[in-house]
Amino acid sequence: MRRLAPWLALLLLASFAAPAFAQDDDEEPTGWRSSGFGQYLSAVDNRFLMGINSIVTGPADPVMSTVEPRKEFDELPLAIVTKWPIGFVQGTLLGAFRTTSGVLDLVFAPLTAMSMLSPEPRYQIFADAEHEYY
């Protein structure tokens, strides 16, 4: 437990420090944020928060895909019966992918040369974090 405590403290500090890195899009970065190291820290923070977002929201995918299946499932044979079980399977696979990619985003957050692995978020927990592609 003693080895885990510093990592938990770092995780807690990073999640509370995220609003300190926030800035308006039309505002030019100033001070340390305009430096290369500041931009690196901002990218690491963004990727870290998107990884946490993916891990936390991953378990909601099976439920939401069952309750509200995709429109493409209406074209399945016997869609009135089959779209909900197929939606559950699709949601389970998407949830597993979202959780796994969230863990990888957390682990590889310092390597900003890699692109973000998490898919587009269904729910956004952190208002400051932005997905790289969406």
Domain parsing of the chain, residue ranges: 58-120
Whose structure tokens read 């209406």?
74
| Cβ atoms of residues 43 and 105 within 8 Å | no
Whose structure tokens read 């900003």?
112
Statement: residue 21 has pLDDT above 90: no
| Cβ atoms of residues 73 and 87 within 8 Å | yes
Instruction: Provide the whole-model pTM.
Output: 0.66
When the pLDDT of each residue in the chain is averaged and rounded to a whole number, the result is: 77
Q: For residues 30 and 4, give the distance between their C-alpha atoms in angstroms, rounded to a whole number.
A: 36
Residue 95 has what pLDDT? Answer: 93
Q: Which tops the pLDDT comparison, 86 or 19?
A: 86
Nearest to 126 by CA among 96, 95, 107, 105: 105
Q: Mind listing the pLDDT tens digit for each residue in 61-108?
A: 899 888 888 888 788 888 788 888 888 999 999 999 999 999 998 888
Residue 97 has what pLDDT? Answer: 93
